[in-house]
Structure 1
Amino acid sequence: MYTLNFDTVKFTREYWQKKPIVIKNAFNEFEDPISADELAGLAMEEDISSRIVQTQSQGWNVVQGPFEDFDEYGEDGWQLLVQAVNHWYPDSQPLVEAFRFLPDWRFDDLMVSFATPKGGVGPHIDNYDVFIIQGEGERRWQVGDIGNHQQRGGDKSSPLVDDFEPIIDVVLTKGDVLYIPPGYPHCGETLTLALSYSIGFRAPSQQELLTEMADSLIDNNLGKQRFTSTEEVANKGLVSQQQQQGMMELLSQLAQDPAQYQTVLGKLLSQNRFELDLNPFEQAISETDIIEAIEDGANIQRIGGLKVLKLEADNQAQLYVNGEVVSVEGIDAEIVAMIANEHFIEQAILSTWRQQPALMTLLTQFINQGWYYFSE
């Protein structure tokens, strides 16, 4: 179990998306949820996103996984990073749970890194919020102020930025946490063999929102309203400012109509950037099978990384799961909220649900999709 030692309400009020902070001893007696060998094993899998960053005299070299072995990289100057470890390694989920004082829709993934001395990824800026939790070993972190930072070497495609003047310069040890909001340059250097955990939170961009909205309008044959005006000024090749604003008002109307945007948001925010460890049954099971499993003492567990979201003030009886719309018609609102909020539903609660056909149908769908599974 992982329990944070700081006031999350104060943190959210004073630091969240405002400024970076170092929280020493954020966890008491922190234990690494995964070992370096287990992390290396995940990096050998085809479906899991991983990379090695080598520190070189002229910069950093990135090698994409999967990997067969690591001997060629030597004893120092490199770092292994594995994305979405919470999708593939259930024992890491309790660490994620500690940060659920922030909403699930923002949560991106748990990235785990194993770094040798002098290993790092270079100075860079992220477009998302990140908590860096130090496990075994020590790493020095520098964080600069937000500002106009140039990409390293003038390379516009590079994620790296030029060296910066630090406003934070700290050595993290086991159980320490460094929080960095979007836009702040930062750089880590490994001092001893180290395991680190990065919990990222991101929000959709304008590009993502517009793309999702356009796709929805096209798929559903909507959004056909055209711009009209009662006055035309004969200025030949000129498009008046009033007309420009009138055309853009068509988009504003979509953004003000919940029936147009809620499903778009639900689908977008419940998607994952990384593969999920889906485990559907080879042969579909029935509602009767679900009821029998519950009677035999089964609990139901959500797979790692799966987002199950409910939109406030959504007049449509639906949940959004992994980018899909799922009907919850006929299911009590409190139960729907529990399904959205809880990763684990114990047998004692499931037993009270057995006589509700719509609910049993929903759980059957979840398990047949591989989104949930029976657990002891």
Structure 2
Amino acid sequence: MYKLNLNVAEFLTQYWQKKPLVIKGAFTGFIDPIGADELAGLACEEEISSRIVLTKERDWEIIQGPIEDYNQFGEKNWQLLVQAVNHWYPDTAPLIDAFRFIPDWRFDDLMVSFATQGGGVGPHIDNYDVFLLQGEGTRRWRVGAKGDYTPRGGDTNTALIDDFEPIIDVVLEAGDMLYIPPGYPHCAETLTTALSYSIGFRAPSQQELFSSIADHLLDTNTGLKRFTSSSEPTSASTVPFEHQQGMLNQINELFSQPEFYQTALGQLLSQNRFELDLSTPDTPYNLDDLMHALSEGAEVHRVGGLKVLQLEGDSNRLFINGEVFSCEQLEQSDITKLADRFALDNQQATALCQSSKIKELILALLNRGYYYLA
């Protein structure tokens, strides 16, 4: 159990997406949910995104995983980063739960790093919100003010920048945390061998939103209405402002109708950027299997990283990993219980399964590998 020492209301009002904050003692008596050996083991796996960052004089080299041999890197000046550890290591779930005062649709992943003395990734700017939690060891963090910064080497495709003047310069120890909103430059220097946790929250870009809605219109063969006009220009080569605005109004009309945009949003926001560790059964369960397992004391757990979302104003559906699940004839309170909880203990799962409809939904989720019996 991880209890965050933070005035959430004050944080959301004064700091969230506004300015960085150092939170000393964010977790009292913090215990790392994963060790360095376990992290290195995850980085050996082909399906898990990992990388080594080597710190060189005035430069950094990135080696993409999987990583099997660490002896080649020596004892200093390197860092291992493993993405979406929460997808593959269930013991990290309680730590993620401590940050659910931010909605699930924003949550991106838990990245865990192991760094030797001198390891780091250099000055850079992220386009998402991040909580940087210190585990074992110590790291020095510097954060700069928002501003116009030169991309390192003139490469506009990198988040790295040349450098910045710090407005925060702090050493984090176990249980300390730093919050950084999008757009603030920052960098870390590892003082002693350290484990660190990056809890990231991301919102979709305009590109992603438009692409998702366009895909939905194509998939459903909708949005076929064409622009019409009441007048034409005197010059055949001219596209009048009236016509330009009329075409854009066609888009605005779609975006104002929930039946067009809610499905696209639900699918987009419930998808993960990183692969899930699905738990598909060798032989599909049937209803008798489910009820027997519950009678034997089984619990129903969600696989790590799976997003189960409801859209306000759309009470008849759940959006799970980009899929749409009908919830018609289900009690809203039951839908919310399923969406809100990472795990259903035996009593909760048994109570929900008194409803034949939600029992069928849970069975479908088990057979998809999105949930598993524990």
Partner of 2:345: 346
Partner of 2:113: 113
**Aligned residues: percent identity?**
57
1:256-285 CA deviation, whole Å, 9 max, x = no partner? 000000000000000000011001011111
Separation in structure 2 between the aligned mates of residue 256 and residue 200 of structure 1, nearest angstrom: 30
Separation in structure 2 between the aligned mates of residue 194 and residue 229 of structure 1, nearest angstrom: 65
Partner of 2:249: 249
Structure 1 residue 163 displacement after superposition: 0.5
Separation in structure 2 between the aligned mates of residue 274 and residue 7 of structure 1, nearest angstrom: 31
Separation in structure 2 between the aligned mates of residue 144 and residue 202 of structure 1, nearest angstrom: 21
1:28-51 CA deviation, whole Å, 9 max, x = no partner? 000111111110011011111000
Partner of 1:234: 234
Partner of 1:175: 175
Q: What SS does the aligned partner of 2:274 have?
A: coil
Partner of 1:91: 91
Please state if 1:153 is matched with 2:153. yes
Please state if 1:332 is matched with 2:331. yes
1:99-157 CA deviation, whole Å, 9 max, x = no partner? 00100000000000000011000111111000000001110111111111110121222
For 1:203, the aligned partner's letter is A
- The more displaced of 242-251 and 303-312 is 242-251
Please state if 1:162 is matched with 2:200. no
Separation in structure 2 between the aligned mates of residue 143 and residue 58 of structure 1, nearest angstrom: 18
Contact 2:301 2:342 in 1 (8 A): yes
TM-score between the two structures when normalised by the length of structure 1 = 0.98
Separation in structure 2 between the aligned mates of residue 242 and residue 120 of structure 1, nearest angstrom: 54
- Structure 1 residues not aligned, in runs of 5+: none
Q: What SS does the aligned partner of 2:213 have?
A: helix
Q: What SS does the aligned partner of 1:75 have?
A: coil
Separation in structure 1 between the aligned mates of residue 326 and residue 354 of structure 2, nearest angstrom: 18
For 2:313, the aligned partner's letter is A
Separation in structure 2 between the aligned mates of residue 312 and residue 120 of structure 1, nearest angstrom: 41
Separation in structure 2 between the aligned mates of residue 354 and residue 111 of structure 1, nearest angstrom: 35
1:64-99 CA deviation, whole Å, 9 max, x = no partner? 000112000000000000000000001111111100
Separation in structure 2 between the aligned mates of residue 349 and residue 67 of structure 1, nearest angstrom: 41
Separation in structure 2 between the aligned mates of residue 121 and residue 266 of structure 1, nearest angstrom: 34
Q: What SS does the aligned partner of 2:301 have?
A: strand
- Structure 2 residues not aligned, in runs of 5+: none
Q: What SS does the aligned partner of 1:160 have?
A: coil
Structure 1 residue 353 displacement after superposition: 3.0
Partner of 1:75: 75
Separation in structure 1 between the aligned mates of residue 332 and residue 352 of structure 2, nearest angstrom: 13
Structure 1 residue 360 displacement after superposition: 1.2
Structure 1 residue 352 displacement after superposition: 2.2
Q: How many residues align?
A: 374
Partner of 1:65: 65
Q: What SS does the aligned partner of 2:324 have?
A: strand
Partner of 2:23: 23
- The more displaced of 232-241 and 176-185 is 232-241
1:197-234 CA deviation, whole Å, 9 max, x = no partner? 00000000110011111111111111111111101121
For 1:211, the aligned partner's letter is S
For 1:145, the aligned partner's letter is A
Separation in structure 2 between the aligned mates of residue 45 and residue 305 of structure 1, nearest angstrom: 17
For 1:327, the aligned partner's letter is S
Partner of 2:140: 140
Partner of 1:287: 287
Q: What SS does the aligned partner of 1:210 have?
A: helix
For 1:358, the aligned partner's letter is K
Partner of 1:56: 56
Q: Where do 1:4-19 residues align within 5 Å?
A: 4-19=4-19
Structure 1 residue 239 displacement after superposition: 1.3
Contact 2:334 2:352 in 1 (8 A): no
Please state if 1:266 is matched with 2:266. yes
Partner of 1:313: 313
Structure 1 residue 2 displacement after superposition: 0.6
Separation in structure 2 between the aligned mates of residue 344 and residue 308 of structure 1, nearest angstrom: 12
Partner of 1:210: 210
Structure 1 residue 355 displacement after superposition: 3.3
For 2:63, the aligned partner's letter is V
Partner of 1:374: 373
Q: What SS does the aligned partner of 1:18 have?
A: coil
Separation in structure 2 between the aligned mates of residue 355 and residue 42 of structure 1, nearest angstrom: 39
Partner of 1:45: 45
Q: What SS does the aligned partner of 1:30 have?
A: coil
Q: What SS does the aligned partner of 2:314 have?
A: coil
For 1:87, the aligned partner's letter is H
1:348-371 CA deviation, whole Å, 9 max, x = no partner? 122223332211110110100111
Over the aligned positions, Cα root-mean-square deviation in angstroms equals 0.9
Separation in structure 1 between the aligned mates of residue 191 and residue 254 of structure 2, nearest angstrom: 52
Structure 1 residue 342 displacement after superposition: 0.6
